[in-house]
A and B are shown apart, each in its own frame.
Chain A
């Protein structure tokens, strides 16, 4: 007996976008340090900030209101508008 079955998936086709190439140098660039607001993520990003201090880049800090929900679109727009590179992190 042949079975004709219906597709159980969402049948969605996610849009895949190419990642931008990394800049050749970080000098005079703006780096966003984006905390996802898990406990001690600021501590982690503080260390990243120290390590980036000698690059000549401008460092900006951003933070999600809570790690359990996606960042508000306005926050994402801020990051896109101001930064050339983003480091997003981290947790626990």
Chain B
């Protein structure tokens, strides 16, 4: 039984204008959240409407399954997508994610959602071509659902709780799956403690992806030096604070690592050791005023090697890669959660 207030519109177009005019959309058309559509979401996930997903602690706002489902319908999700939306938002409500701080910050970030496990095939998630740009039927609406949930349930609208100076395009939707098929690497979720063969979601308060290219070497160290240079650039130009970084490695570069026997852990160790700058480096990019007497102080991008999330994804051709930096160092931490896991169960 749904308990949310009812709103009526005379036809499909009136419904769009009704929802837009109240600030309940991201500007794109939405699916009208009818009772039948919302009920189908809940039924697929086997969740009662009043099931408590969690409570956002800063604003003491309780989030019910019904409210998530309404926003998932609006985003264009199928019922089969809904368990991913539930898991992603549950992960965001965990203390290390720092939901309010991350979503209210002037330093605009988006919720990066990375999907692992059997659900990739079940939902037809394509982790190859155009992977960072909405490549399939599932990832775009799942990411969008999270944005609508933030808008409508947490008031994270631009100029209200969302104080982003710039934001970035991923705030519309920033979701992709790891390519577990075309690699020998351990999936991200498994590396982060989820059992093998379980589906899982990792969320991270993320800056925009920074694309790089190195097609002129097969040496793992040289390839990683390009990733490291991009990370160091982020540290110089944006934020020096250490935290979770994600790097996305498509097949052409992955081949060189796998041929040389490099695991994700080997990559993380190399990046941890090498992605470091001195505070005096800020003077080279116009930030000399904040170097002060600490010029010789060294900063690492990662608190430890485990903070690097190495993700296999991307189309088959091209020596490209991407660095996805954190919002504000370790203030928000990436959270990984198995789909269907109960947070408070004993």
Which A residues are within 8 Å of any B CB, using their own CB?
1-12, 39, 66, 68-70
The answer to whether A9 and B8 touch (CB under 8 A), given A3-B34, A69-B101, is no
CA distance A66 to B101 in the complex (A): 11
Tell which of A3, A5, A8, A12 touches B11, judged by Cβ atoms closer than 8 Å: A3
CA distance A68 to B345 in the complex (A): 29
**A8 touching B74 by the CB < 8 A rule?**
yes
Is residue B33 contacting chain A, with contact meaning CB distance below 8 A?
yes
Which residues on A sit within 8 Å (CB–CB) of B8? 2-5
A57 CB to closest chain B CB (Å) equals: 31
**B328 touching A9 by the CB < 8 A rule?**
no
B327 CB to closest chain A CB (Å) equals: 10
Total A-B contacts with CB atoms under 8 angstroms apart: 81
Which B residues are within 8 Å of any A CB, using their own CB?
2, 4-12, 14-15, 18-19, 24, 32-35, 38, 58, 61, 66-67, 70-71, 74, 98, 100-101, 148, 152-155, 290, 328, 331-332
* Residue in chain B with minimal CB distance to A12: B61
**A4 touching B5 by the CB < 8 A rule?**
no
**A5 touching B152 by the CB < 8 A rule?**
no
The answer to whether A5 and B33 touch (CB under 8 A), given A11-B4, A68-B328, A69-B101, is yes
CA distance A5 to B61 in the complex (A): 22
Which residues on B sit within 8 Å (CB–CB) of A5? 6-9, 15, 18-19, 32-34
Q: Report, nearest first, the 8 A-B pairs whose CB atoms are least far apart.
A: A7-B5, A68-B101, A6-B4, A8-B152, A7-B4, A3-B32, A3-B15, A68-B331
A5 CB to closest chain B CB (Å) equals: 5
Tell which of B14, B33, B98, B331 touches A8, judged by Cβ atoms closer than 8 Å: B33
**A8 touching B6 by the CB < 8 A rule?**
no
**B34 touching A4 by the CB < 8 A rule?**
yes
A67 CB to closest chain B CB (Å) equals: 8
* Residue in chain A with minimal CB distance to B327: A68
Can you give 14 contacting A-B residue pairs, CB < 8 Å?
A3-B8, A3-B14, A4-B8, A4-B34, A5-B9, A5-B18, A6-B35, A6-B38, A10-B61, A10-B152, A12-B61, A68-B328, A68-B331, A69-B58
* Residue in chain A with minimal CB distance to B18: A5
Tell which of B35, B154, B332 touches A4, judged by Cβ atoms closer than 8 Å: B35
**B34 touching A8 by the CB < 8 A rule?**
no
* Residue in chain A with minimal CB distance to B68: A8
Tell which of B14, B70, B153, B328 touches A6, judged by Cβ atoms closer than 8 Å: B70
Known: A4-B35, A8-B148. 4 other contacts (CB 8 A): A1-B11, A2-B9, A5-B6, A6-B35
Which residues on A sit within 8 Å (CB–CB) of B5? 6-7, 11
Tell which of A2, A3, A10, A68 touches B153, judged by Cβ atoms closer than 8 Å: A10
The answer to whether A6 and B33 touch (CB under 8 A), given A68-B98, A68-B101, is yes
A43 CB to closest chain B CB (Å) equals: 12
CA distance A9 to B328 in the complex (A): 28
**B9 touching A9 by the CB < 8 A rule?**
no
B101 CB to closest chain A CB (Å) equals: 4
The answer to whether A69 and B98 touch (CB under 8 A), given A8-B71, A8-B148, A9-B24, is yes
Which residues on B sit within 8 Å (CB–CB) of A68? 98, 101, 328, 331-332
A65 CB to closest chain B CB (Å) equals: 12
B167 CB to closest chain A CB (Å) equals: 18
Which residues on B sit within 8 Å (CB–CB) of A10? 61, 67, 152-155
The answer to whether A3 and B12 touch (CB under 8 A), given A8-B33, A8-B148, A68-B328, is yes
* Residue in chain B with minimal CB distance to A69: B101
A80 CB to closest chain B CB (Å) equals: 19
